[in-house]
Amino acid sequence: MTAIDLGIPGLTGIPTTDEKQTARDYKSDQEVRWCPGCGDYIVLNTMQSFLPSLGLKRENIVFVSGIGCSSRFPYYMNTYGMHSIHGRAPAIATGLAVSRPDLSVWVVTGDGDALSIGGNHLIHTLRRNVNLKILLFNNRIYGLTKGQYSPTSEEGKITKSTPAGSLDHPFNPVSLALGAEASFVGRALDSDKAGLTSVLRQAAEHRGSALVEIYQNCPIFNDGAFDVLKDADEAQRRIINVVDGEPIRFGREGEYCVIREGFGLAVAKSADVDASDIVIHDASDLNLSFALSRLSTQDLSHTVTGVFRRANRPTYDDSARAQVDAAKAAKEADLSKLLHGKDTWTVVG
Amino acid sequence: MSTETRKLDRVVIRFAGDSGDGMQLTGDRFTSEAAAFGNDLATQPNFPAEIRAPQGTLPGVSSFQLHFADYDILTPGDRPDVLVAMNPAALKANVVDLPDGGILIVNTDEFTKRNLTKVGYDSNPLEDESLERFQVHKVAMATLTIGALEETGLGKKDAERAKNMFALGLLSWMYHRPTEGTERFLREKFAKKPDIAEANVLAFRAGWNYGETTEAFAVTYEVAPAKLNAGTYRQITGNTATAYGIVAAAQRSKLPVVLGTYPITPASDILHELSKHKNFDITTVQAEDEIAGIGIALGASYGGALGVTSTSGPGIALKSETIGLAVMTELPLLVIDVQRGGPSTGLPTKTEQADLLQAMFGRNGESPVPIVAPQSPSDCFAAVLDAARIALQYRTPVLFLSDGAVANGSEPWLIPDVDSLPDLQVEFATDPETFQPYSRDPETLARPWAVPGTPGLQHRIGGLEKQDVTGNISYDPENHDRMVRLRQAKIDGIEVPDVVVDDPSGEAKVLVVGWGSSYGPIGAAARRVRKLGLPVAHAHLRHLNPFPKNLGEVLRKYDKVIVPEMNLGQLALLLRAKYLVDAVSYTKVQGLPFKAEELQDVLADVIKGVSA
Ligand SMILES: Cc1ncc(C[n+]2csc(CCOP(=O)(O)OP(=O)(O)O)c2C)c(N)n1
Ligand code: SF4
Ligand SMILES: [Mg+2]
């Protein structure tokens, strides 16, 4: 049986199994070597607990990563995996996805890997809509190289390489992905197992590129980067979790909401606005998704989580295969005929 | 007056004009006529780097040289016997190559004061003595073409554009070429515009009739068909032969091919060609850059396809890191470098063989990669097939070093019987009981190719150093040393055919060694010096890493070894280092192939020096 029978577009063509799987089945025999307390552990555990629910054959799952602490991820998964080179995982995974429709291909990357050295591959992969699930571990720092600022570090960041403060303006990865017209973009916190699992599931089920930004704590070089989102009280005020089709309210009692303002969106107190003015999330609306992404600020005074965008458009790999299939159906693969071409002459001995 | 017919054994014609004059098409057609007639031939186009350089200027000159003969020839010819110049710029750029007494056919219509000054002629060379050394034929090609097309009702501008076919008709008459093919070709090419098709056919005939009826040409020439090996032939360029070799590799390995690539001169035609042959299970991906191109190819290889990437020197620079990853992960990968003049952007449309050391050493760490180089346009087919064999059998990236001259040059190709092509099938690993990601085949030292989707073989690979056999990450010093040596031993042990020495007399004391596209000029020069009574041996390397096993022995047999290269002595450096032979380097880096004539002098000097 393949997942086509399950009617899940993102898993169509991938063989499934009836065998019961557990998180244990997804743990490899390699010792995990991240620093104690690293957010990467929680993401790994969440992933290992989540994958069994897809019911896929383990041998048909592949993790491809770049370079960075987070990119060690594939070694710890008992699936196929390639730990490649810095920034290039989306390109390598594209080659794999194009040639193998029967695989569930995941990319694991960091904020430096995906947005500095690999920025070009990331945006092009998203615009092509290759059927890949890209997990961007954003710790707002270069972990593996011991603590330089990254393209998501807040302006003025003091690090080893920027003792007087970093000068560059950071990327908002969700805005960037939406700018490339990614067909699926989500965000979750490493510590929020339920939220992360929900976004991962929707990403897996989506056919096309799915970018999932995961806020991940690096206790060694950027500890507490997301603490304001983890403190129960602060989180109520700051985290705006969006669900497709539902009005966007947040806070303990839903006392805050999102309304339209000018060409964008703004946060308001629910009590101050008419209920009909509260924006209803529509993940198929690119402009709305983009406006939502703009609510997230460098200082995390607001952070949107959940699935920003989920839209259907043809995937590059399906289309490439369709072209090959159409060519095969239209024309026999006759090598001798090809080599002869149109203009030959014969010399008799 | 009746014209005299002279028999020649070979002729070199160069058509030169403005980029917009259709010189490549004219040359192509004459080539097809020569091929249909049964001559052996070789061609070399030469076009400007700019797409639309200003009309009538020197940078806008485009030319096509064609050498045809009644025997097997090796090069497109050093110098033209006949130069057709469609405008002053074409004359100025090309006349230096025309030897004294050469035939010069000029389209006089373009020799206006304005056009002359544009290229820096103070006086009209058609009117002063500067061309006295040549047999000059002044033909008002544009006027005559327009006149011939008067009845068609075609506008003057459109009519004038057919003047290249007038030139072709005239040359076809001069050399007794068959004409049906060209007329058929024109009707097919312009099938959608029948009036243009007819105009071109009329212009072509007008050129022919001009030769036949005017008394301007006292002599015509005949070049008899060549005695080539029996079989069916076609004309083929190096890039097309490379693309076909890749298609053949797909067929003979029964694997899909994924080409990941980024456009660059002079390699883009490989992408263009392969993208037409998806019916052979070939996927072409035009990536966002060269790094993505090779990444896509490597990802496809990891998935069990034959990954191929094509580029030129600057692209190889970008791909280096991924080639290193392929060395480390030991996956098959075909990397095609159609070399051009460097460094940097260099001479995009010109040829050079200066990427040898980049191919050999241009990566971090000890990162050995096999290198295969084709020696002529048609040889690209067999050579790329052999590169694919090595990649698949030894699980390694292979560098294929073509170059601009080979890529765009063309020659007749004896089409091989498809069933005689090598079988490239390989087996994927399937047995979980015995599987170890980095165990090795005792003969080839290749590791198993275990593709995702195979039950029970889940494993992780990557760029970090591997523990021998298990493939787990290892920082152990002994293990690293062992793995570095194992990777090297695998490449050193690749089976490649012995190099064959061409020394008809068996008395040579001097050996000339070349590689890649210099085969033609070196071979032709060797023939010439032998005719002068000076024996010389020629060895040409297709395999540059590893070198053929007999190479050391061959080199040591001769008193002197000379190595001509279109670089500053890269092969010579390798030969000296590896075999401790005092190889003499002869180098030239003008962006142009060697001339047989100059190599003849170089060889003759060395040979005389040795016997003295
Ligand atoms: C070509 C190349 N350049 C630089 C490096 C060094 N390097 C390794 S990881 C890294 C940054 C990693 O940061 P990020 O992607 O955020 O991953 P993290 O370690 O934070 O998870 C750098 C600069 C490299 N391995 N390769
Ligand atoms: S350096 Fe930071 S990101 Fe890297 S493993 Fe340690 S805690 Fe995790
Ligand atoms: Mg980071």
Ligand nearest to the CA of A221: 2
**C-beta of A137 in contact with ligand 1 (< 6 A):** yes
Distance in Å, CA A111 to ligand 3 centroid: 5
Residues of A in contact with B325 (CB under 8 A): 84-85
Give A97's contacts (C-beta < 8 A, 6+ positions apart).
Answer: A103, A105, A130, A131, A132, A317, B299
> Does B46 or A167 have the greater pLDDT score?
A167
What is the pLDDT, as a whole number, of residue A165? 98
What is the pLDDT, as a whole number, of residue A1? 47
**C-beta of A148 in contact with ligand 1 (< 6 A):** no
**C-beta of A265 in contact with ligand 2 (< 6 A):** no
Q: Which of B232, B303, B457 sits opposite A96 (nearest CB)?
A: B303
Contact between B246 and B276 under an 8 Å Cβ cutoff? The reply is: no
> Is residue A230 a part of any domain in this protein?
no
Q: What is the CB neighbour count within 10 angstroms for residue B106?
A: 26
What is the pLDDT, as a whole number, of residue B48? 80
Answer yes or no: do A207 and A143 share one domain. yes
Q: Tell me the pLDDT of chain B averaged across its residues.
A: 96
How confident is the model over A238-264, as pLDDT tens digits? 999 999 999 999 999 999 999 999 999
- Report domain extents, chain B: 4-223, 234-420, 427-495, 501-611
Contact between B343 and B315 under an 8 Å Cβ cutoff? The reply is: no
List the shell of residues around ion ligand 3, using CB closer than 5 Å: A 110-111, 139
Residues of B in contact with A93 (CB under 8 A): 299
Atom 5 of ligand 1: nearest residue by CA position:
A86
Residues of B in contact with A339 (CB under 8 A): 234, 244, 248, 415-416, 418
Distance in Å, CA A143 to ligand 2 centroid: 5
Chain B residue with minimum CA distance to A75:
B460
C-alpha A91/C-alpha A121 separation (Å) is 6
Atom 8 of ligand 2: nearest residue by CA position:
A38
Output the domain CATH number for residue A167: 3.40.50.970
> Is residue A347 a part of any domain in this protein?
no
Atom 5 of ligand 2: nearest residue by CA position:
A34
Determine the distance in angstroms separating the CA of A342 from the nearest CA of chain B, rounded to an integer.
Answer: 9
Atom 24 of ligand 1: nearest residue by CA position:
A86
Among the atoms of ligand 2, which is closest to the Cα of residue A34? Answer: 5
Is A137 exposed, middle or buried, given 0-12, 13-18 or 19+ CB atoms closer than 10 A?
buried
The token duo for A79 is 């699936």
Answer yes or no: do A297 and A178 share one domain. no
Report strand pairing: B460-462 vs B410-414.
Answer: unpaired
What is the pLDDT, as a whole number, of residue A172? 97
What is the pLDDT, as a whole number, of residue B47? 82
Distance in Å, CA A233 to ligand 2 centroid: 27
> Is residue A346 a part of any domain in this protein?
no
Residue B177: closest CA among B57, B39, B34: B34
What is the pLDDT, as a whole number, of residue B2? 67
Element (H, E) at B574: helix B570-579
Contact A64/B299, CB-based, under 8 Å?
A: yes
How confident is the model over B2-29, as pLDDT tens digits? 679 999 999 999 999 999 899 999 999 9
Answer yes or no: do A266 and A320 share one domain. no
Q: Tell me the pLDDT of chain A averaged across its residues.
A: 96
- State the helix-helix crossing angle for A119-128 and B290-302, rounded to 10 degrees: 70
**C-beta of A144 in contact with ligand 1 (< 6 A):** yes
Answer yes or no: do A278 and A177 share one domain. no
What is the pLDDT, as a whole number, of residue B29? 94
Residue B68: closest CA among B175, B194, B147, B180: B175
C-alpha B86/C-alpha B106 separation (Å) is 6
Asked whether residue A347 carries a pLDDT value surpassing 90, the answer given is no
Answer yes or no: do A52 and A172 share one domain. yes
Q: Which of A338, A340, A347 sits opposite B38 (nearest CB)?
A: A347
Atom 4 of ligand 1: nearest residue by CA position:
A86
Strand residue runs (E) in B486-529: 501-502, 510-515
CATH topology of domain B234-420: Rossmann fold (3.40.50)
Domains held by chain A: number? 2
Element (H, E) at B61: strand B61-69
Mutate which of A96, A109, A328 to disrupt the B interface (most B C-beta within 10 Å)?
A96
Percent of chain B with pLDDT over 70: 100
Average pLDDT over residues A300-316: 97
Residues of A in contact with B415 (CB under 8 A): 339-340, 344
C-alpha A139/C-alpha A162 separation (Å) is 17
Answer yes or no: do A115 and A159 share one domain. yes
**C-beta of A239 in contact with ligand 2 (< 6 A):** no
Q: Which residues of chain B have pLDDT under 50?
A: 1
What is the pLDDT, as a whole number, of residue B418? 97
Q: Is B501-611 the same fold as B234-420?
A: yes
Contact B231/A346, CB-based, under 8 Å?
A: yes
Residue range(s) defining the domain that contains residue A130: 3-225+314-330
> Is residue A339 a part of any domain in this protein?
no
Answer yes or no: do A197 and A292 share one domain. no
Q: Which of A91, A95, A103 sits opposite B452 (nearest CB)?
A: A103
What is the pLDDT, as a whole number, of residue A4? 45
Q: Cα dist. B403→B173, B313, B351, B373 in Å?
A: 34, 10, 6, 9
Contact A347/B229, CB-based, under 8 Å?
A: yes
Contact between A96 and A56 under an 8 Å Cβ cutoff? The reply is: no
Chain A residue with minimum CA distance to B232:
A346
Strand residue runs (E) in B95-216: 103-107, 135-139
Determine the distance in angstroms separating the CA of A32 from the nearest CA of chain B, rounded to an integer.
Answer: 12
Average pLDDT over residues A98-122: 98
Task: Indicate if ipTM > 0.85.
Answer: yes
Q: Which of B278, B296, B303 sits opposite A323 (nearest CB)?
A: B278
Distance in Å, CA B473 to ligand 1 centroid: 18
Answer yes or no: do A120 and A149 share one domain. yes
Contact A344/B295, CB-based, under 8 Å?
A: no
What is the pLDDT, as a whole number, of residue A187? 98
How confident is the model over B396-408, as pLDDT tens digits? 999 999 999 999 9
What is the pLDDT, as a whole number, of residue A6? 55
**C-beta of A63 in contact with ligand 1 (< 6 A):** no
Q: Which of A74, A100, A331 sits opposite B453 (nearest CB)?
A: A100
Asked whether the whole model's pTM tops 0.80, one would answer yes
Asked whether residue A3 carries a pLDDT value surpassing 50, the answer given is no
Q: Which of B300, B454, B472 sits opposite A59 (nearest CB)?
A: B454
Among the atoms of ligand 2, which is closest to the Cα of residue A39? Answer: 8
Contact B299/A99, CB-based, under 8 Å?
A: yes
Instruction: Give the number of beta-carbon pairs within 8 Å between A and B.
Output: 203
Determine the distance in angstroms separating the CA of A180 from the nearest CA of chain B, rounded to an integer.
Answer: 13
> Is residue A348 a part of any domain in this protein?
no
Q: Cα dist. B357→B152, B264, B345, B568, B590 in Å?
A: 59, 21, 18, 11, 19
From the candidate CATH numbers 3.40.920.10, 3.40.50.300, 1.10.1760.20, 3.30.365.10, the one assigned to the domain spanning B4-223: 3.40.920.10
Distance in Å, CA B384 to ligand 1 centroid: 36
Ligand nearest to the CA of A146: 2
What is the pLDDT, as a whole number, of residue B52? 75
> What CATH class is the domain B501-611?
alpha beta
Is B219 exposed, middle or buried, given 0-12, 13-18 or 19+ CB atoms closer than 10 A?
exposed
Answer yes or no: do A180 and A254 share one domain. no
C-alpha A130/C-alpha A92 separation (Å) is 12
Answer yes or no: do A138 and A48 share one domain. yes
Determine the distance in angstroms separating the CA of A199 from the nearest CA of chain B, rounded to an integer.
Answer: 25
The token duo for A145 is 């190289």
How confident is the model over B485-496, as pLDDT tens digits? 999 999 999 999
Answer yes or no: do A245 and A220 share one domain. no
